[in-house]
Chain A
Amino acid sequence: MQRWQMTERLIPRDLSAHPRAYAPDYKTSVSRSPNQPLLSFPTTQTEITGPTFGHDMIGQHDNNLILNFTGQPAIGERIIVHGRLMDEYARPLPGCLIEVWQANAGGRYRHKKDGYLAPLDPNFGGCGRTITDADGRYEFLTVRPGAYPWPNRANDWRPMHIHFSVFGHSFGQRLITQMYFEGDPLIARCPIVKTIEDQTQIDRLVAPLDMTMAQPLDCLAYKFDIVLRGRTQTRFENRPEGM
């Protein structure tokens, strides 16, 4: 008889790795943050499973934000953003969907709610997607987004950033985050960045310049690795009936 039964579970989420829900310097969080404690419970099939996406759903230019809107090149500083998706045990996560969105090079989103002075770029939509390869690697070609002001405190500016929506293999691994750029002085001033209290975790969101991937006479590159929650196993010792 097998001595152990195993079921897969997610490593409990370390909430200190994340922003606080209530962060009054980010004013919108005040009325959108739950007051009551979260209910913790053991992983069920609902959280350990999740949607999976096939490479065949990705079009040729889906990960090329410079060309994917009109086919004509967007204006701005051309950059590669690349990295690895892995779990807390540093295991690569292959076959996972990553979606990105961002402002154009002037700091303007193609969105009816964005009325910033900077003009729209007729050739920039601002969305992209890809699926990680067998080693968990991904890559986008885009333009560096501009910083922009936003209505919060009197003179708040978002640092240059790219939004990432990331799937793992489990619904409980789902994550949305933002990537920042090495050297941007606005990072330290941003109330959204500072919803994260742990500076070492903030640093994890800042992508370094990666000259090994920069293409001579073409584009610079930044590397942004992403870590999702790990999966492990719970062991149950088999016991005879009645014990």
Chain B
Amino acid sequence: MVQKLDHLRETPSQTAGPYVHIGCTPNFAGIQGVFDDLGADPFPGEGDRITITGRVIDGFGTPIKDPMIETWQAGAGGTYGPGTRGWARIVTDPETGEWSLNTVKPGAADGQAPHIAVWIVARGINLGLNTRIYFPEDDHSADPLLSRVEHRHRAETLIAKATGPSAYAIDFVLQGANETLFLDI
């Protein structure tokens, strides 16, 4: 026999379910006057904005309409924080499933190419899904994460497309041939 390790195990995840917005963005869910929705603007008062749009697409190829997405990123100078600076909560259009993030372009941090971390929860997702958004104009050759990806087409699922001046688009595909590369962070 040996001594028993007394470490704890992580509490198991459960799906966020169909009513996640009641708890995380109550005003969006129609519950007004209790408290404000958090994460509406990741960089209040900071200029040079970019807009990223996209959808979360299920295994049938259909945009899902009930996810909640959170993003976390460095500021333009490549540093994280303080406080909630750099953190956003995104809801999708309940009719189309489209989402939009208005933010600043992150600077390079920690020897990594500029990127935004993404966490997706929804009904039917039992453990929140982590992924990243990279930008097409940046040099990705030395990025420690992208350089680990064996199949080039899998890495490309993380790179947004430029759709106009300061505008990008990326879909998160939960399943199928174009499945997004999800991360064990």
Given A112-B30, A174-B70, A176-B14: A31 in contact with B7 (beta carbons within 8 A) = no
Q: Which residue of A lies closest to B42 (CB)?
A: A51
B40 at the interface (CB under 8 A from A): no
Given A51-B86, A99-B23, A165-B23: A32 in contact with B124 (beta carbons within 8 A) = yes
Surface stretch bound by A, among B47-55, B96-104, B113-121, B162-170:
B113-121
Contact A227 B8 (CB under 8 A): yes
Contact B121 A176 (CB under 8 A): yes
A-B contacts counted at CB < 8 A amount to 260
Contact A32 B175 (CB under 8 A): yes
Contact A36 B7 (CB under 8 A): no
Query: With a CB–CB cut-off of 8 A, which chain B residues contact A52?
Result: 81-84
Contact A175 B117 (CB under 8 A): no
From A20, A99, A127, A198, B126 is in contact (CB under 8 Å) with A20
> Bound state CA distance, A23 and B84, in angstroms?
34
25 A-B pairs with C-beta separation under 8 A: A19-B15, A19-B127, A21-B125, A29-B126, A30-B124, A31-B59, A32-B124, A34-B179, A36-B154, A38-B184, A39-B184, A46-B73, A46-B109, A47-B117, A52-B84, A62-B34, A88-B10, A100-B23, A126-B31, A163-B19, A171-B119, A172-B185, A178-B15, A195-B14, A228-B11
Q: Which 8 A-B pairs have the closest CB atoms?
A: A101-B23, A28-B124, A32-B124, A51-B87, A31-B59, A19-B126, A38-B184, A49-B80
A interface residue numbers (CB < 8 A to B): 10, 12-15, 17-21, 23, 26, 28-36, 38-47, 49-54, 59, 62, 68-69, 86-90, 99-101, 109-114, 125-129, 163, 165, 171-172, 174-178, 192-193, 195-196, 198, 201-202, 204-205, 226-230
